[in-house]
Every structure is written in structure tokens, then in C-alpha cells.
Amino acid sequence: MLLKRASVCYERAGLFEEAIRVSLEIGDDLRAAAGQEHLGLMAEAAQSYAHAASKASEDRRGYVWREAARCYGTAQMFEPQAEALLRSGDALGAAWVRAHFAHLYQGARALLTTLSIDNASTAIASEVVHARCEAGTGLHGQASRRLNRVLGSIGVLMMDASYPRTLEWTIAVSEVLGRYDLGATAHSIAAARHLPEAIENWQRAAKRIVGTAAGVPARPNSAIKVGGDPGHE
Amino acid sequence: MSEGPPRFAFNIRKLPREPVPETVAPPRLGEPKPVVGPARDDDSSALPEAEIGARFSNTGAVLAYLSGMSADGIPPDAVVRRIPDGNWWVESGATLDGAFDLIVAAAGRAYRRRGDEWFAVRPDGMPLRARAGRDVVEPRHWESVDLAVVVSYAPLMGSRYIGSRELNVVLPAELGQWLLRRALSIGLRAWLTTVTRHPLHGGDASKALLVRLESDVQAIPATFVHAVCGLPYCVACGPRQTGQGTLLLDVRHRLPFPARLLTGAIPLNETWVLGLADSGSWRVSASGAEIDGASLLELPELPVIPVPPSSGTGRLPETIQIRIIDHPSSESVDAILLDDFELEAARTLLMSRPIGEVAFFIPGDERHLLRAPGGLGSAIPFGIPLVRIGPGPLFIELGKALFPPMPEAARRARFAVEDDSVVAIAGGAAYRFSTDRLTPAWTLWVGEAPVIREGLSPKVAAILNRVGEDTRRREIEAANGRQAETSWKGRKSKPADLVAAAEKEERRGHLFKAAELLEAAGYPARAARLFERAARESR
């Protein structure tokens, strides 16, 4: 109780290192994690979140694990990030992190086999992760064909919470494959669906890849034909 | 000798229990008669009750058997005899069914009585075929011995020190001072008693010290216990085990049966100390009153504390000089001791530092104390940094400590720590400052305020005279009301007052209260440090 008040006072005084030390001492990992994140100590923060998650109540555990995963990601510790995502209940996210960031394709595929695919958006997202695994293991042709199929069906998919993430993954896989045409299609879908910052992301990608954003529409154009025109990159 | 049930020449029947005659009740341990002489020939006739005998090869088995006979402790009617061939004999009135099994389990041989002779029997009570010598015995000629003798010969079972808050050490007076110094240096409390000790198996009495060491919070460190065990002629025992008498057992050993079975057989007001062969087992009785080991501490400046009178002749250890030793630590600085020259420099420094707002200073004779609630940290880079060791406002130079460490009560008494004074131990001396002279540090540099001119110029007075008397009064009243309201609000949250109150509370050792005041005054970092220290001190 006294130490808790001490840590609150340390935070108020801006002495975060002290506050973290005291919080850790009394086992208040969540408060310590927040302090560590504030100081940019992402790896430490992730570990504190992970500790806190193991002690958290059932209904909060998923949230705390997601926080841990986010910090692990920022700290570029991808294997623990995938582990944290898995524990938070996001097996698909864990598979993506394993495949795209940690390059653990076997592990990613293993996760995909355990996945229960009960709706179209999960099915399409898992296809994207499969394509990433194939791209990583040299099966570029297969990966491209799979990605093309994904882009054909993603345009008609209902918008849900995982939609922007799936598109983002699709763009990432297309860049790994060097299939910028597929990437442009994905960008155009994002723009057509009015996803936040879709146009800006497209322009940035064009500048990075071809050196100019000329040809990328300046505003969302509903006339873009979803799944058709390969774009202007 | 009969063989087999049909040829029984006697009936086995339960004999009536009668009080055992005085002459054959050896476990009367209260008398200084460790060894009872050889039993007289007419002893056997006075033993109508004993009907189960047992022969064992060692005293450990004897004790195991005796302790197993009854859940209430060693039966008072049991007789133990030493057999000339080195074995041991136990006879008792035990009639329970399991007695024979118990004897066999303790690696003994069971006997039944018939007249003066005892016949070896099988575990089911049936007699063995008689062979001369071992199977038919006549124990009445064997020397009967005291329980203390049996215990002193009993092999203790090896164990290890498992952590205990109490340690009882029987040691020669010459080693008392060493033990006391070591014990106090690790913060243990010590009580000394002068004692007279007799070897358990008989012999000359000698004087010794019984030192009881206690730890308040955690177990006594194993390294210390091992050091004590390594001292010559010392027995380091675990916690006292009391029944009728008291049993102390070497800390590295354990009894092969529950200790309470034995403590019931130890005479009242007597203590048995069971040690190893080199240190011996002792029957100990106090010859002086118990005294507090802390009373043997002495400060350099103070006269020798008279050793409390002891009725015994065992010598008490010499008093110990308290020294100030180097003791590296990373604690934060709570106060600073400044001389006249440094005070001048501190003045300049405080003017430009935020610490100047909360610091207080107590002028003294050539030395001055500067402190702030919640600590000074590294705000002042000169002077002698002090840390609070308590109780109350007792400070010691950073990186120094008293050796041996004095208990809190001793510090309070020896340094005369009171609420209205601050005591600082630094540079080999102690300084006392009266808190009557405590002043905010800003008085060091803030001089007299410029003269405030009051009153009205004739010109303004003339203007005011033109305004109606009533209007002026109304306006003055309204203004006063506003002022009163403001000043009330101001008092409620005036940080300077809160800081002063916090300083006072911290000086008295009320850290939590001081922390809350500092928090309210808007000094969260200082408050946090005090909260933390309050948490640590309340542990």
C-alpha cells in the first residue's frame, strides 16, 4: 500500500525509473509496463506485460497479451511477439508474425493447420499467410497465383475488423514477391474502400518503389475496378 | 525348561500393577545421582511388576523402545541396566500386545520373566528353546542406570541446521565476549545466564555460560550457526523444548523420537543439553539471573555500565566498546553537517536551487545541520552527508555504521534521542542540535525587506474625504470580507506550512504522515521517497 503510493508519487514527479522499480517490487507489473513503455524500454515493457498477463483475470488476459505483443513487435522480438499473440487468442496474427517477421515458415504453417476457419475473412487471411510462407520458401509462382486468387475475392469481402490488416499483409507479400502489380491492386482496393490513409500509403509505396507517385490517384476513386486494373506503379 | 505349549511349567498371566519400590526406580533424575550402584540381590523380589524384558546392543535402541512403549512419554517404571558385555537391558511392566514387536523392531531380543530368571521369547510370546547364557538371563546382578546415562550414551541422528529464530549456546565464559560481539553485529538479541553444568553420565561440575540468541524477523544465519558450532567446548542448540524440564539439542542433530517423550522425563527446572562426544552432554542449572546482552554495550564517552549482579560465580564477558566503522552504503542523503565556511557556500548554492524552498537549517556551535523532508539527495555537494538511522532524529555519517550494531532501544538511550533535538554522529563525534532553533533555509540569504511605506499622502486624503463616510465603510467591509476569504483559502494550501509540518513529522519518525503532507504540498518526489522509506521501515 505504502509502496503503491510511493510509485504513484514517483510518476507524478516524473521519476519513472524509480516508479518502475517500486512497481516491480510490489508486483504491479501493469503499472511498471506502462512506465517502461513511456521510457521507450519496449523489451522490458513487453516482459512486464507478459508477467502481468499471466496474473491477470480471465477477461483481461487477452488484452494484456495483445499489449505485450505490441511491445515485443516494437522491440523487434518477433518470436515472443508471435507467442504473445497466440496467447491473446490471435493465432492468425501469430502465424503472420512468424512467417513475415521471424521467417519461421514451418511454425507459421503449423499454426495455420490448427486454425479453425469459420468465415470468409479468416479463410482469405490464412491464404495470405500461406502465400507469405510460399514466398519465403522459394515457391514464388505458387505464391503469386494464390495472391491473385486472394485479390479476386477480397474485393467482394464484407468489411470487418480484420479487413485492413489482411490488405496490409497482401501488400507486404506482393512486395516480397516483387509483384508490384498485385500490390497496386491491393492499394487500389484499400482506396476504393476508403480505408484510412490508403491513398497516402499507396503514394508512399510508389515513391519507394518507382521513385515517383505520379499516376497514383490523389483522392479515392470509386470508379477503380476492384480486382482488375494492375495499377500504375 | 519346558518346550512347547503342553510342557509349560508356568502360566502367563497379567500381574497386578503396584507402585514400583523406591529402590528400583532409577529414572529419578532430579537427584545428583547419575549412576545408581549395582542393584542389590534382594531387588528382584521387589519387582513383581516387570514382566517384559528386552536386550539391546545400543542405547539408541533402548531409547527408541522406551519412547515407543507409551505415547505419554518414557514410562516411569522402566528399569535400565548395563550388561557387563556392553549390551543394555530394559525391564518394564509393559503388557501391551505390541511390546514384543516393538522390541524386535528396535533390533532387540525379548524376554519374559519367570522367578529370578528371564527366558527369551519369540515375537508371539512363545518361549525359544533355552540355550545357556543368552536365552536365560538373570539381570538382577547388573548395574541399573539412570535415564540421563542412557541419554548421554545415545547416538544422536545426524541432521542439519534448518533455520531457527532461537539459538541456545552453552560455552565457557572465556568465549562469551566473542559470541556476544558476533551475535550483536548481525542484529541478534542476546540473553546470558551463568550456569553450573554436570556431565550427564556423571562427573565433576563446572561453570559455564548459557547464551540465548534470538532473531526478530528471520532465521539466524546458517553461517553464524556453523561458526558457533566450530568453537571449542561449545554446544550450539536449537530452540528450547520444554516439558517438565527443558531439553536443548545440538543444532546439527535430532533425536530418533519425538523430543516431548524425553522432556517429560527431565526433572523440573533442569535443562539437559545433548551435544556431540567432543562437547559432551550436560545437565545444566542456572546459577545467576538472566541478563540482557545489550546491557553489556558501552559507548566510548560513557562510563562503564555496571554488570548486573549475578549470584553465580561464572564470569560475564567484558563490555564491548562501540566503534564507528566504515560501512559502504548507497542510501540517499537525509541531512548535511556543515561548518561555518561551508554554510557560507551552501547559502549561495541554496539561493539558486529548488531545494532552498523546502530545506531547513539548525544553527549550532561551529557545526550546522541542513536537512529537508524527504531527503537532500545530492543537492549540496559539500559538508558531511548524513543518513537517518533512527530512532527519531538520529543521523550518522553516510558510509559509516556503529559496530556492533546497537538495538534501537540502546541507541535511543545512549544518544539521548528526544523529539526536541537532532543528534548527528559524524567525524568520530556526536553533535546535538536543538530544534527550537530550526529555521527555513531561505533565512540564510533573504535579508530584511525594504521599508514598506504606509499611510496616505495629503492629496489622496483630500480626495477620500470627498467620498461619503458610509460608502467608504461599506466598501472597506466588502474588501475585508474578500480578503478574509482569500487568506483562509491560502492557509488551507500554504505549501510552506505543510513542508514545515512534514519536517516535524519526519523528525519524529512519522514518515507516513510526513509523506502525505509533502504530497499535499506539491512535492511528489519527496513524498514518494518517504512513502518508500515508511514501507521499508514497517517491514
Please say if the pLDDT value at position A186 is more than 50. Answer: yes
Inform me whether the C-beta atom of residue B515 falls under 8 Å from chain A C-beta atoms: yes
> All 3 cell numbers of residue A98?
512468424
> Who contacts A24 (Cβ-Cβ below 8 Å, separation ≥6)?
A32, A48
Inform me whether the C-beta atom of residue B527 falls under 8 Å from chain A C-beta atoms: yes
What residues are paired with B211 via a beta bridge? B169, B192
- Relative to beta strand B235-237, strand B189-199 is unpaired
Shortest CA gap B510–chain A (Å): 13
When pLDDT is cut at 50, 70 and 90, the band that residue B394 belongs to is: confident
Q: In chain B, which residues have their Cβ closer than 8 Å to the Cβ of A9?
A: 515, 519, 524-525, 527-528, 531
What is the predicted pLDDT for the residue at A142? 93
When pLDDT is cut at 50, 70 and 90, the band that residue A83 belongs to is: very high
Exposure string for A130-163, b = 16+ CB within 10 A, e = fewer? bbbbbbbeeeeeebbebbbebbeebbebeeeebb
- Residues 334-353 of chain B with CB under 8 A from chain A are none
Q: In chain A, which residues have their Cβ closer than 8 Å to the Cβ of B538?
A: 2
Shortest CA gap A18–chain B (Å): 9
Shortest CA gap A13–chain B (Å): 5
Inform me whether the C-beta atom of residue B529 falls under 8 Å from chain A C-beta atoms: yes
> What is the SS3 assignment for B261?
helix
Shortest CA gap B62–chain A (Å): 54
Q: Helices in B254-407 by DSSP H: which ranges?
A: 259-263, 340-351, 355-358
**pLDDT single digits (tens) B306-349:** 444 444 455 566 667 777 887 777 677 888 888 888 888 888 88
Please say if the pLDDT value at position B26 is more than 80. Answer: no
Most confident option among A17-31, B381-395, B428-442: A17-31
Lowest mean pLDDT among A26-30, A130-134, B323-327, B525-529: B323-327
Compute CA A96 distance to the chain's CA centroid, rounded to the nearest angstrom.
Answer: 8
What residues are paired with B120 via a beta bridge? B111
Compute CA B521 distance to the chain's CA centroid, rounded to the nearest angstrom.
Answer: 42
CB B123 within 8 A of CB B117: no
Of B512, B519, B535, the CB nearest to A9: B519
Percent of chain A with pLDDT over 90: 54
Answer whether A9 sits within 8 Å of B535, measured CB to CB.
no
- Residue carrying C-alpha cell 536551487: B353
When pLDDT is cut at 50, 70 and 90, the band that residue B14 belongs to is: low
CB B65 within 8 A of CB B302: no
Q: What is the DSSP letter of B359?
A: -
Exposure string for B285-309, b = 16+ CB within 10 A, e = fewer? bbbbeebebbebbbbeeeeeeeeee
Q: Which of B511, B531, B533 to mutate to test the interface with A (most CBs of A within 10 A)?
A: B531
| CB atoms inside a 10 Å sphere around CB B263 | 18
Q: Number of C-alpha atoms within 13 angstroms, CB side, residue B124?
A: 4
Question: Nearest Cα to B156, choosing from B63, B40, B265, B51?
Answer: B63
- Which helix (H) or strand (E) segment holds residue B369: the answer is strand B367-371
CB B326 within 8 A of CB B352: no
pTM higher than the cut 0.80: no
Most confident option among A20-29, B155-164, B355-364: A20-29
Interatomic CA distance for residues B56 and B28, integer angstroms: 22
Percent of chain B with pLDDT over 70: 77
DSSP result, B56-104? ESSHHHHHHHHHHH-TTSS-TT-EEEE-TTS-EEEEE----TTHHHHHH
Q: In chain A, which residues have their Cβ closer than 8 Å to the Cβ of B524?
A: 9-10, 12-13
Chain A residue with the nearest C-alpha to that of B516? A5
Strand stretches in B215-314, DSSP E: 235-237, 241-242, 246-249, 253-254, 271-274, 282-286, 291-292, 297-298
Sign, CA torsion A139/A145/A151/A156:
negative
What is the predicted pLDDT for the residue at A101? 94
Inform me whether the C-beta atom of residue B522 falls under 8 Å from chain A C-beta atoms: no
- Residue carrying C-alpha cell 516482459: A47
Of A2, A14, A15, the CB nearest to B534: A2
Inform me whether the C-beta atom of residue A43 falls under 8 Å from chain B C-beta atoms: no
What is the predicted pLDDT for the residue at B46? 40
Chain A residue with the nearest C-alpha to that of B539? A2
Interatomic CA distance for residues B327 and B399, integer angstroms: 5
Percent of chain A with pLDDT over 70: 94
Of A2, A7, A18, the CB nearest to B512: A2
Packing angle between helix A78-88 and helix A58-74, nearest 10 degrees? Answer: 160
Please say if the pLDDT value at position B31 is more than 60. Answer: no
When pLDDT is cut at 50, 70 and 90, the band that residue A52 belongs to is: very high
Average pLDDT of chain B, as a whole number? 75
- pLDDT, mean of residues A6-22: 90
Please say if the pLDDT value at position B235 is more than 90. Answer: no
The reply to whether omega before B21 is within 30° of 0 (cis) is no
Chain A residue with the nearest C-alpha to that of B520? A9
Inform me whether the C-beta atom of residue B537 falls under 8 Å from chain A C-beta atoms: no
**pLDDT single digits (tens) B183-213:** 877 788 888 888 888 888 778 888 888 999 9
Answer whether A2 sits within 8 Å of B535, measured CB to CB.
yes
Exposure string for A8-33, b = 16+ CB within 10 A, e = fewer? bbbbbbebbebbbbbbbebebbbbbb
Chain B residue with the nearest C-alpha to that of A1? B535
Q: Number of C-alpha atoms within 13 angstroms, CB side, residue A173?
A: 38
When pLDDT is cut at 50, 70 and 90, the band that residue A64 belongs to is: very high
Compute CA A217 distance to the chain's CA centroid, rounded to the nearest angstrom.
Answer: 26
Answer whether A13 sits within 8 Å of B512, measured CB to CB.
no
Q: Greater confidence, A4 or B130? A: A4
Inform me whether the C-beta atom of residue A20 falls under 8 Å from chain B C-beta atoms: no
Chain B residue with the nearest C-alpha to that of A16? B525
Interatomic CA distance for residues A159 and B217, integer angstroms: 63
Q: What is the ipTM of this complex?
A: 0.73
CB A183 within 8 A of CB A154: no
Packing angle between helix A120-136 and helix A163-177, nearest 10 degrees? Answer: 20
What is the predicted pLDDT for the residue at A177? 92
Answer whether A3 sits within 8 Å of B531, measured CB to CB.
yes
Inform me whether the C-beta atom of residue A21 falls under 8 Å from chain B C-beta atoms: no
What is the predicted pLDDT for the residue at B489? 45
Please say if the pLDDT value at position A99 is more than 90. Answer: yes
